[in-house]
Amino acid sequence: MSPSTDTDELGKAQFNSDGTPKTALGKMMKDLGVDNPPFLNRLSPMIPKGSDIRKNPNSVNQRWVLTYRDLCEWAVLYERICHANFATDTLIVRDGLLRSKIFSGELFIRWRKKVEEAIDRIYKEDHRRIFLVGLAKHSKVIVRYQLAMAIDDTFPSGDARFVRIPRDLEAKAYIWNEYARGVEVEGEGIEAPKFVAGDMFLVRFGPMSGDPIWAVDIFSKQKEDASEIFGYLLNDAINGFPVPFYPRCLQKAHEFAQVVDFDLEIFQDHIYEAVRDLLPDNKKSIVDSWRFRSDLSMRRYG
């Protein structure tokens, strides 16, 4: 992919020729009702129309590629909960809060309700409990209130601790307060909670007052299960390495996500081949010779 990729074709690539979803993103698009036609700009206003890219690719904001990546992350999370089977009770941890502003209209509300329905269905049919949380390494809420919490001794030494953050306090940390408007306001005649699917807690997994504090979103429907959920997270975070008192599952995910060593060489080979295939036959040897010289310098001085 590149910023000049035709987003219309990219949207169609998520589906088979018969219209059935081929990828996790395709499954999410189908369930959210944006699969016909499968144009990605219907899923997110931050993704440009394919016609705009075809006519004037230089005028398009290139950050849409990052939006597409985020959509794929939400799609994988959605597929994992709504289209998979679970052998045991499972806690799913997202790297980041359960909030997003990249979805069009009220699609994120629909996403949240679909996940709620799937969790209820799994418990009813398979008697398995599925918990969903999002953990952020940085949060404006922590930045705003960390001095006050230290003075008030909100997290005294002795045990791991967590505390729920009221919505009004949370809203004061954001420029736009709709980023702190959750499920609790539905049906009250105000703007729907289009960006938030979780309730925020601050948690310290270590026993000392100086141990790091993290911001955690618990899926709003499961906020009453906070004690059980944090018990599972604590068990995973105690042995956190190399980051102390940070969930080991996320640290392992980061390790697996890194493209290094042999995987990086394979990835680079694909890039070289793609560039080479774009050139006429009499120019292909230039890429081959340049690549050979580049590899030698990397081996000698890398």
Q: What is the pLDDT of residues 3-48, one digit of tens each?
A: 889 999 999 999 999 999 999 999 999 999 999 888 899 999 999 9
pLDDT at 196 > cutoff 80: yes
pLDDT of residue 293: 65
pLDDT at 302 > cutoff 80: no
Q: What is the pLDDT of residues 203-251, one digit of tens each?
A: 999 999 889 999 999 999 999 999 999 999 999 999 888 888 999 999 9
More confidently predicted of 135 and 285: 135
pLDDT of residue 299: 54
pLDDT of residue 188: 65
More confidently predicted of 276 and 295: 276
φ, ψ for residue 67 (rounded to 5)? -60, -40
Quote the crossing angle between the two packed helices 107-126 and 64-82, to the nearest 10°. Answer: 20
Best CA proximity match to 22, nearest among 69, 79, 99, 93: 79
| pTM summary value | 0.84
CA separation for the pair 245, 100 (Å, rounded): 26
Q: Average model confidence (pLDDT) for the chain?
A: 89
CA separation for the pair 102, 92 (Å, rounded): 21
CB crowding 252-261: b at 16 or more within 10 Å, else e? eeeeeeeeee
Average pLDDT value for residue range 112-120: 97
